[in-house]
Amino acid sequence: MRNQGILKRIAGPVVTAVGMDAHMYDVVKVGKEELMGEVIKIQEDMTIIQVYEDTSGIRPGEPVVNTGLPLSVELGPGLLKSIYDGIQRPLAVLITKQGNFISRGVSAPGLDRTKKWEFKPVVKAGDRVGPGSILGEVQETNIVHRIMVPPKVKGSVVKSIKPGSFTVEEVVCVLEDGTQITMMQKWPVRVSRPVKEKLNPDIPLLTGQRILDGLFPIAKGGTAAIPGPFGSGKTVTQQQLAKWSDSEIVVYVGCGERGNEMTEVLTEFPKLVDPKSGKPLMERTVLIANTSNMPVAAREASVYTAITIAEYFRDMGYDVSLMADSTSRWAEAMREISSRLEEMPGEEGYPAYLAARLSEFYERAGRVLNLNGKNGSVSVIGAVSPPGGDFSEPVTQNTLRIVKVFWALDAKLSQRRHFPAINWLNSYSLYLDALQGWYDREVSPEWNKVRAWAMEILEKEAELQEIVQLVGSDALPEEQQITIEVARMVREIFLQQNAYDPVDTYCDMTKQFAMLTAIRKYSEYAYAAQAAGVLLPQIIAVKSKGELPQIKFIKDYKPALEKIMASMDAEFSAMRAG
């Protein structure tokens, strides 16, 4: 093996080396500064490399060294609360090494080598273990980090295992066959971690967002796409999910997006508490930030780094959700590298393998039975940023062919500050049927009916609006005017949810059900009153109805809601009487 070559050509993030043996996706060190790169094409004696750092000043003739290893992440205690770049360099460490701006040629391991973690074995000498088996635990944050046998180690018997304080490189367990196990394992990012089998996704990933949980739910282990033009709410939705979804672990990757958005997460999350555990949200979060002005090749790698970390926590038996903002930037990074390789461009310049890469990525989601017998899940929520907001472009279209939930953001809604700006007519969830049983059991046997009623009202409204556009709303029969009014209530009270209001930002299923039921109750009263001959303006002007939106902002809403519903009952009785 010739593991060293020399540079022949440098053109931006893609460089060519000659005189070196390499395999696809080997990690190489480029130039005198040893910039990190990855082999992406081999052609005769030429090795073509994408470089994860800026290549300015690098000259032909400089050395290239092949490490012979694929691009991998380090997995072990120390991942949680970290913020990494696209190739798992801890950004906090980079600041101490190179200051406030990211320069190049600095390597920093993903996991701290000096920090000691308290390891508690859960197996003992003589126990039989296999790939994925849990050997012990470390209290990493409020989350227990389970130390596992790496997936590629063969089954064997524990020879020795000891509790105590260890760094991630120290051996904590030795197997009979001589295998030494440390708390850190490495895994190549482009390969999915093995599982025993995939399970049906029949438990919802609850997000506290009414339009998502209520109308278009995603299952734990499911896949969802949020496409939308700029400023329509992709990032806010993903951040809401990162904050409030009932996952145990959140991996959030800012892929080619804004620096300040990562800062926002970093400042906000430590202050917010998980409604379930009562612990700061940061304790369950891993952040990957490869912002738009950081090198594109590392941007391409960032989503793989993220999903590998997500799979690792899934292997421990956790429900993990991965937010990828934005998969379009990832696709564009692919396109940019591909065009520098002078590959034959496919649709809109994207490489022909775009669809394959997208589906490989989303395929790594799922609710699974792990090698160790525990259940875990990775749910993947990907933002898509279509040029000009046009959903017919290749990234959106290819993504929609794969994912099961589509949350369509709509600029018309965001412009009028209807948030979340998710279009209720275009969006869908293919998990609805699978989740019905859960809602039935855990929320109310009435839930599925109320949901169907709400969707029907919204659809009817859309039809009626077409007529209104031609004749004005006063020309509609009174009954239909009530429908329009009720639909408005569903939109303004139920669907609209203010992410920035301390109470409204999160809404549990009980409250969602109560709100929707209250609106339905009004509609029943209204139709009945109309049928009984009460005048429409009176029905619409019911005072208690005007109080209903306030429920959103009240934390202890039950007494208030009861009061409103009681006065609504009284008002309608009075109307019928009078």
Ligand X SMILES: Nc1ncnc2c1ncn2[C@@H]1O[C@H](COP(=O)(O)OP(=O)(O)OP(=O)(O)O)[C@@H](O)[C@H]1O
Residues 226-255 that bind other proteins (CB under 8 A): 229-231, 254
By beta-carbon proximity to Mg ion, the closer residue of 64 and 384 is: 384
In three-state secondary structure terms, 158 is: strand
Task: Kindly identify the residues of this chain, within the stretch 65-104, that bind other proteins according to CB under 8 A.
Answer: 83, 91-92, 94-95, 99-103
Contact between 362 and 380 (Cβ < 8 Å): yes
By beta-carbon proximity to other proteins, the closer residue of 166 and 350 is: 350
Give me the helix-helix angle, 296-315 and 327-340, nearest 10°: 130
Task: Kindly identify the residues of this chain, within the stretch 495-554, that bind ligand X according to CB under 6 A.
Answer: 498-500
Least Å from the CB of residue 265 to Mg ion: 12
Tokens of 543: 């005072």
Least Å from the CB of residue 226 to ligand X: 8
Going by their DSSP bridges, the two strands 128-129 and 156-161 should be labelled as: antiparallel
Q: Is 228 in the site for ligand X (CB under 6 A)?
A: yes
By beta-carbon proximity to other proteins, the closer residue of 55 and 192 is: 55
By beta-carbon proximity to other proteins, the closer residue of 39 and 493 is: 493
By beta-carbon proximity to other proteins, the closer residue of 51 and 450 is: 51
Task: Kindly identify the residues of this chain, within the stretch 409-438, that bind ligand X according to CB under 6 A.
Answer: 414, 419-420
Contact segment (CB under 6 A) with ligand X among 212-220, 225-233, 264-272, 543-551 equals: 225-233
In three-state secondary structure terms, 351 is: strand
In three-state secondary structure terms, 307 is: helix
CA neighbours within 13 Å on the CB side: how many for 423? 16
By beta-carbon proximity to other proteins, the closer residue of 208 and 256 is: 256
Q: Is 234 in the site for Mg ion (CB under 5 A)?
A: yes
Q: How many residues at the interface with ligand X, by CB under 6 A?
A: 16
By beta-carbon proximity to ligand X, the closer residue of 58 and 289 is: 289
Cα–Cα distances (Å) from 92 to 228, 241, 253, 486, in that order, read 32, 25, 16, 52
- Cβ neighbour number for residue 89 with a 10 Å cutoff: 20
Instruction: Enumerate residues 6+ apart whose C-beta is below 8 A from 540.
Output: 482, 485
Going by their DSSP bridges, the two strands 4-11 and 14-18 should be labelled as: antiparallel
Contact segment (CB under 6 A) with ligand X among 24-32, 231-239, 346-354, 439-447 equals: 231-239
By beta-carbon proximity to ligand X, the closer residue of 318 and 419 is: 419
Q: Which of 68, 163, 275, 345 binds other proteins (CB under 8 A)?
A: 345
In three-state secondary structure terms, 289 is: strand
List the x/- string, 491-510, binding to other proteins by CB under 8 A: -xx----x-x----------
Task: Kindly identify the residues of this chain, within the stretch 461-500, that bind ligand X according to CB under 6 A.
Answer: 498-500
By beta-carbon proximity to other proteins, the closer residue of 7 and 435 is: 7
List the x/- string, 533-552, binding to other proteins by CB under 8 A: ----x-----x-xx--xx--
CA neighbours within 13 Å on the CB side: how many for 258? 10
List the x/- string, 349-388, binding to other proteins by CB under 8 A: x-----------------------------------x-xx
Cα–Cα distances (Å) from 475 to 260, 338, 464, 526, 533, in that order, read 50, 58, 11, 19, 18
Q: What is the 3-state secondary structure (H, E, C) of 317-328?
A: CCEEEEEEECHH
Tokens of 527: 């139709």
Using CA atoms, how far apart are residues 200 and 386, in angstroms rounded to an integer?
A: 31
Using CA atoms, how far apart are residues 204 and 508, in angstroms rounded to an integer?
A: 13
List the x/- string, 284-323, binding to other proteins by CB under 8 A: -----x-xxxx-x---------------------------
Using CA atoms, how far apart are residues 85 and 256, in angstroms rounded to an integer?
A: 11
Residues of this chain that bind ligand X (CB under 6 A): 228, 230-236, 257, 385, 414, 419-420, 498-500
Residues of this chain that bind Mg ion (CB under 5 A): 234-235
